Amino acid sequence: MTSKMSPPQFVMLVFLFLILIGTCILALPISSASGLSIGLLDALFTATSAVCVNGLVVVDTGSVFSTFGQVVIMILIQVGGLGFMTMGVIVAIMLGKRIGLKQRLIIQQTTQSKSSSGLVKLCLYIVFIAFAFETVAVTVLTLRWMGDMGFAEALYHAVFHSVSAFNNAGFALWSDSLSSYVNDPVVNLTIIWLFVSGGLGYIVIVELIRKRKWRSFSLHTKIVLVSSGSLLAIGFLLVFALETLNPQTFGQLSWSERIWSGFFQSATSRSAGFNTIDISNMLSASQLVLIILMFIGASSGGTGGGIKTTTFFVLILATFNTFRGGGQIHAFERKISVEIIMRALAVVISSLLCVFVVALLLTVTEGIYEEHFMEVLFEATSAFSTAGLSMGLTSELSPMGKFIVTITMFIGRLGPLTLAYALAEKKKKSKLGYPEDHVLIG
């Protein structure tokens, strides 16, 4: 990291470099099951999807790639997911400083240090926690799958899906994702536990393990837990209630399967990207719910994407506050500064613009008529929020469409704010001293 490069610029370059290497390796014949290269564009798409822990795929991971190719994808996921988790936490610290917040940063409570050795320690902590979670899951899933496919295969599948789940990547070795295990409590619980933990983020996990008591949690952790919990509950209730009317999905399932898959589908849309029922068969009302859940996504400092639960919480809070007459904005007996609300505003507006522009571009490049608009909106949101769910459009994309989705996955992973900071000029002197004037709003 040279002194001329800002931390977000550094993150952006590291990810670009990872994607480039991944593309080159995945385009090699040795990565392909058939022994013939899958081509540069599909390799680029897959590498970007893996590094950005997105999960959208243009070729079937389980059948098109060789074991070597699959292991490369798994490594890209692990490096991308952990890299982003680590970098995300560090960048958040830097950005926090840059926008002038002077309070003690949450993360310093963990590392007890501000020096660069503190950052190394932080990275090691994060890697340790990720491996701890994945090791537990690998053990459970290997035991579960051993009977079906023998020890070696079971271990391989357990490792691949554990890495994919904790990093919210959503890559699966089965072409129908986890649909075969729609009613399997062990697989459901293990995978959900992994991606929810990864999605909560490092800070929250550490506080949950160390502090345990609600009152001692930081504001960030409280907001993450409350908003994640509410979104999980609301998502489950809506998907369950809506799909119960749908003969193409729940009509074919028992009640226990309905509860599992209602929970799984609403949880997975918040960045994980696995699915246990076919998304394209769901009602359009449920698909709209999933789009909104994907857009909100997981939590800051985690492996998931989207605008983040904290952003959503802060926006709703600010909205209610204005409705009640304004004044100081507070949650859990802590004041939330105007700077934080402005950042949330910037994130949601730029994300909405991005999703709409991508949807617009895809509508044109893919020659979409109104009948397929939902698929485009779903795809654009999924690509941007790194959710990786698809109604089926990805596999039919034109070369130009693949390229647009690739860029979208990258922008969505870095987050519009990180990207803008990375690209921005140094802060201009703010022109103080203008008189205030009134504007009519709404």
Q: Cα torsion at 308, 313, 315, 320 (round to 10°)?
A: 170
Rounded CA-CA distance 338/191 in Å is 38
Footprint of K ion on residues 303-322 (CB under 5 A)?
none
In terms of CB distance, is 47 or 105 closer to its own copies? 105
| Residue 420 partner contact from its own copies, K ion, none using kind-dependent CB cut-offs of 5 to 8 Å | its own copies
What the block records as the tokens of 365 is: 């490049």
CA distances from 386 to 64, 71, 306, 307, 341 (A): 22, 21, 7, 10, 23
The CB-of-141 to its own copies minimum distance in angstroms stands at: 31
Q: Is 170 in the site for K ion (CB under 5 A)?
A: yes
Stretch that binds K ion, among 65-73, 163-171, 233-241, 393-401 (CB under 5 A): 163-171
- Residue 439 interacts with which of its own copies, K ion, none, CB < 5 to 8 Å by class: its own copies
- State which residue, 140 or 393, has the beta carbon closest to its own copies: 393
Does 198 help bind K ion (rule: CB under 5 A)? no
What's the min distance (Å) between Cβ of 154 and its own copies? 37
Using DSSP's 3-state secondary structure scheme, residue 330 falls into strand
Coil, helix or strand at residue 231:
helix
Q: Which is nearer to its own copies, 35 or 327 (CB)?
A: 327
Closest CB to K ion among 218 and 300? 300
**From its own copies, K ion, none, interface partner of 340 (C-beta below 5 to 8 A by class):** its own copies
**Contact residues for 303 (Cβ-Cβ < 8 A; gap 6+):** 53, 81, 82, 84, 85, 166, 167, 168, 169, 198, 199, 201, 271
* Residue, CB closest to K ion: 273
Minimum distance between the CB of residue 251 and its own copies, rounded to whole angstroms?
Answer: 15
Closer residue to K ion, CB minimum distance, 8 or 81? 81
Give 51 or 397: the residue with its C-beta nearer to K ion: 51
If one asks whether residue 416 binds K ion (CB under 5 A), the answer comes out as no
- Can you tell me the distance from the alpha carbon of 341 to that of 359, in angstroms, rounded to the nearest whole number? 27
Query: How many Å apart are CA 426 and CA 6, to the nearest integer?
Result: 10
Q: Which two tokens stand for residue 351?
A: 């994300």
Give min distance, CB of 47 to its own copies, in A.
24
Instruction: For residue 117, give every residue at least 6 positions away whose Cβ sits within 8 Å of its Cβ, in sequence order, or none.
Output: none
Helices (H), 366-429: 373-384, 399-414, 416-423
Of residues 36 and 103, the one with the C-beta less far from its own copies: 103
| Residue 302: partners with Cβ closer than 8 Å, 6 or more residues away | 85, 88, 168, 198, 199, 200, 201, 202, 204
Contact between 55 and K ion by CB under 5 A: the answer reads yes
Q: How far is the CB of 91 from its own copies (least distance, A)?
A: 10
Looking at the Cβ atoms of 55 and 198, the one nearer to K ion is: 55
Evaluated on CA atoms 46, 57, 164, 230, the torsion sign reads positive
Report how many residues bind K ion under the rule CB under 5 A: 5
Q: Could you say which of 81, 273, 415, 416 contacts K ion (CB under 5 A)?
A: 273
Kindly state whether residue 388 participates in binding K ion, applying the rule CB under 5 A.
yes
Rounded to a whole number of angstroms, the minimum distance from the CB of residue 339 to its own copies is 6
Phi-psi category of residue 201: left, alpha or beta, with phi > 0 → left and psi -120 to 50 → alpha: left
Q: How far apart are CA 285 and CA 238, in angstroms?
A: 9
The site for K ion (CB under 5 A) is made up of 55, 168, 170, 273, 388
